[in-house]
């Protein structure tokens, strides 16, 4: 299994579907933004072969060369997105979901109307610049995984009930039903209405907040790609502590000035210690002292019905491989088990429901062993499906293969009350 996301280049092209005019091109190399651009002749060829297929009623969705994977996707017969990746082990599933998130980011910050009724190409190009920062963060080497899983990255605060109560009270006082606390792009607690936000905005809103430069307060116009793609809303953010932000989605009211220091102090001053306890949760996701087996190097827990996930590669920071390598391995393992072993996720591939019904056996667990040539090297990977939950573990080479399923079962049992 290749380590998805290792050193390589990703090029993202956005074109007007009818004319083939490029709207933007974004690139990343080794997870960082790159200035390298594709020649116009290559852009024209990639779009031309896709349009040629459409004229023959053939849908070209992906292609592979010796070292590059290419995925095409059209949206609303108006926008064509093309992604090329030379990253080792890149999967088509990952690139397809990347394109879905990129288009969601474009709608989030520009609105669907501007993208489906293109009257002025140059004006649209200028408006799309507002989405570059968010798109670049989706292309980059993020500590989050919601772009791939399409589930909201969450953390588990030590005193979640107290924070939930304060958040609900503050949201009511501010006159909105949509509120959340976000630390490093991950949701700590949220109101019921916030959790009911659809995909992709439920993933993209905290991702956007995590990708923006630090600021004490913001009043940011956003569209909701699923819930309100043509009518803008306002995303209000207030920094409670460095790295921890209070986020509200609302209409014309309240004005940002109404969220005065007295209102903030009333609800959040008594919560100062619980808020401080949230700050280390970004990369760790789980509260300090949560009992995990010492062999666990990383974990991904998904609740496929709630569309939430816990993702950490830092339960024990001392051991090899590095956190970056652990993220790459777990992302690659996720795409493998999702595309090959486990049944389609809720909301995904509904057209394959009949095929799934014809399968007499549905896998509940799978594992993968790396580095068996040299004892004590490499790692172990195990995935377990139980009802709406799916757990993926990255384990050290010392973990015995015969005990993988038992360890995964015990870990899932311990994590179930959290998500």
Residue range 318-368, pLDDT digits in tens: 667 888 889 999 999 999 999 888 877 665 544 444 454 555 577 889 999
Of 140, 169, 190, the one marking the end of a domain is 140
pLDDT of 220 higher than 70? yes
Average pLDDT (29-46) is: 80
Let me know if residue 151 belongs to a domain: no
- Identity of the highest mean pLDDT range in 4-18, 216-230, 280-294: 216-230
Does 217 lie in the same domain as 186?
yes
Does 80 lie in the same domain as 124?
yes
Of 235, 255, 284, the one marking the end of a domain is 284
108-124 tens-digit pLDDT: 999 999 999 999 999 99
* Confidence at residue 314, expressed as pLDDT on a 0 to 100 scale: 84
Counted domains in the chain:
3
Q: Print the domain residue range for 17.
A: 10-140
Let me know if residue 82 belongs to a domain: yes
Question: Nearest to residue 384, comparing CAs of 364, 402, 368?
Answer: 364
Does 275 lie in the same domain as 229?
yes
* Confidence at residue 6, expressed as pLDDT on a 0 to 100 scale: 54
Average pLDDT (375-381) is: 78
Does 166 lie in the same domain as 116?
no
* Confidence at residue 279, expressed as pLDDT on a 0 to 100 scale: 93
Does 129 lie in the same domain as 15?
yes
Let me know if residue 353 belongs to a domain: no
Does 239 lie in the same domain as 218?
yes
Does 90 lie in the same domain as 168?
no
Average pLDDT (3-18) is: 80
* Confidence at residue 350, expressed as pLDDT on a 0 to 100 scale: 44
Let me know if residue 351 belongs to a domain: no
Let me know if residue 346 belongs to a domain: no
**228 vs 230: CA distance, rounded Å:** 6
Let me know if residue 5 belongs to a domain: no
Does 329 lie in the same domain as 223?
no
Average pLDDT, the chain: 89
* Confidence at residue 356, expressed as pLDDT on a 0 to 100 scale: 47
Question: Nearest to residue 326, comparing CAs of 366, 283, 286?
Answer: 283
Average pLDDT (196-223) is: 93
| CATH code for position 213 | 3.30.450.30
Question: Nearest to residue 133, comparing CAs of 247, 72, 209, 200?
Answer: 209
Please report which confidence band the pLDDT of residue 373 belongs to, taking 50, 70 and 90 as the band edges. Answer: low
């Amino acid at each position: 299994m290749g380590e998805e996301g290792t050193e390589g280049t990703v090029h993202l092209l956005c074109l007007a579907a009818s004319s083939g005019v490029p709207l933007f091109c974004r690139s990343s190399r080794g997870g960082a933004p790159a200035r390298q651009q594709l020649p116009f002749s290559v852009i024209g060829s990639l779009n031309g072969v896709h349009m040629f297929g459409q004229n023959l009623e053939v849908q070209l969705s992906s292609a592979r060369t010796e070292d590059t994977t290419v995925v095409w996707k059209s949206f609303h017969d108006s926008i064509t997105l093309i992604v090329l990746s030379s990253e080792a082990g890149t999967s088509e599933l990952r690139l397809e979901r990347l394109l879905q998130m990129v288009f969601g980011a474009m709608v989030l910050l520009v609105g669907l109307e501007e993208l489906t009724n293109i009257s002025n190409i140059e004006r649209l190009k200028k408006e799309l610049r507002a989405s570059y920062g968010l798109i670049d963060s989706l292309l980059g080497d993020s500590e989050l995984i919601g772009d791939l899983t399409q589930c909201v990255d969450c953390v588990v605060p030590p005193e979640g009930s107290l924070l939930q109560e304060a958040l609900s009270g503050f949201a009511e006082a501010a006159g909105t039903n949509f509120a959340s606390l976000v630390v490093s792009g991950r949701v700590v607690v949220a109101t019921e209405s916030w959790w009911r936000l659809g995909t992709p905005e439920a993933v993209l809103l905290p991702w956007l907040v995590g990708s923006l430069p630090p600021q004490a307060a913001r009043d940011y116009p956003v569209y909701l790609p699923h819930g309100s793609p043509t009518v803008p809303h306002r995303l209000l953010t207030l920094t409670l502590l460095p790295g921890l932000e209070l986020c509200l989605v609302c209409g014309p009211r309240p004005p940002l000035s109404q969220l005065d220091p007295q209102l903030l102090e009333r609800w959040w001053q008594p919560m100062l210690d619980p808020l401080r306890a949230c700050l280390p949760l970004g990369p760790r996701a789980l509260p300090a002292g949560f009992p995990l087996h010492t062999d666990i190097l990383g974990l991904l827990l998904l609740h496929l019905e709630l569309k939430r996930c816990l993702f950490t590669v830092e339960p024990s920071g001392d051991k090899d491989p590095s956190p970056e390598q652990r993220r790459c391995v777990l992302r690659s393992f996720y795409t493998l088990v999702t595309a090959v072993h486990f049944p389609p996720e809720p909301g995904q591939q509904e057209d394959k429901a009949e095929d799934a019904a014809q399968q007499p056996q549905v896998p509940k667990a799978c594992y993968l062993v790396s580095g068996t040539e040299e004892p004590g090297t490499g790692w172990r990977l195990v995935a377990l499906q139980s009802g709406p939950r799916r757990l993926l573990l990255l384990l050290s080479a010392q973990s015995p293969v015969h005990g993988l399923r038992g360890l995964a079962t015990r870990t899932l049992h311990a994590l179930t009350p959290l998500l």
